Structure 1
Amino acid sequence: METPKNAHSVNSRIREGLSRVAAALRADEWERAKTLGLNPTQLAILVLLEGRVDGLGVKEIAAHLGVSQPTATDSINALEKKGHVEKRTGLTDGRSVSVRLSTKGVTLVSQETESDMIGRAIGALGDAAQETLLVTLVTMIRGLQEEKSIPVQRMCVTCRYFDPFAHPESDKPHHCHFVDAPFGQRELRVDCREHEQADPTSRAATWDAFQAG
């Protein structure tokens, strides 16, 4: 990695820090994938499809993973041969194909475990720092998706069921209308299988209320 021209700017130092964490995550992904007989892209596809009963198209999968469509196609084909995913032709468009987990794929994903290395690093931060980091990451991801750099993620802050700071005096200030229950900042989700994307206007209003709270 080349030293940036302005190495002393906060922006540059944060980028460098994130790159170090990303390198550790990539190494961890290789180890986790290897234990399941996969490569990291194949594992990422299975994790992405988990909970998506209608599946995703190849183009959507490639966009979510930030890879080319040929790369996504090769990995999907390999997973199909292993019996971990199924392809289904669209009912209204015979040219469209959706990819979803097979029963075998669901079982395999359930065996996927988090890294002790990354878990220890996060655990060492303490509760308050963990919460701050989670909110910061949500903010960064939301900014990237609003710029259309990444697809809309299945986060609380983009979901139509999310009601931020509905209970402002409580230690569980937010409300999820899907389960009709309050929850706290530490419980904010980055990827929720029950997520239903809110329309752009509602997303903007929800985000304003989240920030104001």
Structure 2
Amino acid sequence: MDHASHPDPVPHRLREGFERIALVLRADLWSAAGTAGLNPTQAQVLALLAARPAGLRPKEVAAHLAVSAASMADTLAALERKSLLRRAPDPSDARAQIARLTDEGLELGRGLASSASQIAAALVQLTAAEQAGLLRAQIKIIRSLQQAGAIPVQRLCVSCRHFRPNAHPGEAAPHHCAFVNAAIGDRDLRLDCGEHEEADPAVQAATWMAFAEG
């Protein structure tokens, strides 16, 4: 077959690449979960909630992991039986619940979130510039998926009221985080920041334009 007459678009090849990476990520997850005596979904819940000590509503956990509410209810119940999680009334809505990790669950969740993986080993082989470029590209993809409603809202630097894009043009660390009052570079950008405070929509739009153009 003549390759020139049947071009393989770059986005198609990138998607194929993501699919291959996802296979390894899934294998890493199964391995880490099995070692901890959990199934993969239980491990994902612990890793997610370890980054959110205040907890999330069950429906929010389900949305973040793209599983049904019924399936998530079973997962949370199993983690409660293992004394890794507890559910309590939501202070802001007595009809709702908040799922939080116990001390044991928090320790295990943090361990799972930072566990060694084949993907992490491959990423550290990239140069600092390649890592920063890949992170910046990921942020753009995640924001597009977020806007399309494909994934829940993420705690990205670029949507935070503390983020000042390209505040220090020409510098190695061109951006500024008002929360810590420090200059930051692309390598410092967060996909899930615990100090995130969502900016107003108009501010987010202006911030994104300045970030993307920079």
Same fold (TM over 0.5): yes
2:47–2:110 CA contact under 8 A, matched in 1? no
Is residue 7–residue 13 contact of structure 1 (8 Å, CA) maintained in 2?
Answer: no
Task: Spell out the pairing of 1:110-121 with structure 2 (5 A cutoff).
Answer: 110-112=110-112, 113-121=114-122
Correspondence for 2:3 = none
**Equivalent residue letter for 1:22:** A
Give CA-to-partner distance per residue, 1:157-186, whole Å, 9 cap, x none: 111111111111321111111111111111
Give yes or no for the alignment of 1:108 onto 2:108: yes
- Identity of aligned pairs, percent? 46
1:3: which partner in 2? none
Matched, 1:159 2:160: yes
Q: Secondary structure at the match of 1:99?
A: strand
Question: What are the within-5 Å matches in structure 2 for residues 173-188 of structure 1?
Answer: 173-188=174-189
The count of residues paired between Structure 1 and Structure 2 equals: 208
Q: Tell whether the 8 Å contact from 2:62 to 2:68 is kept in structure 1 after alignment.
A: yes
User: CA deviation digits over 1:48-95, x for unaligned, max 9?
Assistant: 112424311111111111111111111111111111111111235332
2:196 is aligned to 195
Structure 1 match to 2:58: 58
Gapped runs of 5+ residues in structure 1? 1-5
Q: Distance in 1 between matches of 2:11 and 2:168?
A: 35
What secondary structure does 2:94 align onto?
Answer: coil
Give 1:96 deviation, angstroms.
Answer: 0.6
Q: Distance in 2 between matches of 1:115 and 1:7?
A: 38
Structure-2 change in CA distance of 1:27 and 1:211 (3 Å): same
TM-score for both structures, normalised by structure 2: 0.91
Name the SS of the counterpart of 2:199 in structure 1.
coil
1:167 and 1:174 in contact (8 A); partners too:
yes
Q: State the shift of 1:209 in Å.
A: 0.8
Residue matched to 2:79: 79
The CA RMSD over aligned residues, in Å, is 1.6
* 2-structure distance, mates of 1:182, 1:156: 13
Matched AA of 1:82:
K
Shift of 1:120: 2.2
Q: Which runs of 4+ in 1 moved over 6 A?
A: none
CA contact (8 A) 1:62 1:69 kept: yes
- 1:23 maps to what in 2? 23
Cα deviation per residue 1:182-201 (whole Å; 9 max; x = unaligned)? 11111111111111122222
Uncovered stretches (5+) of structure 2, i.e. residues with no partner:
1-5
TM-score w.r.t. structure 1 length? 0.91
Aligned-residue offset at 1:7: 7.5
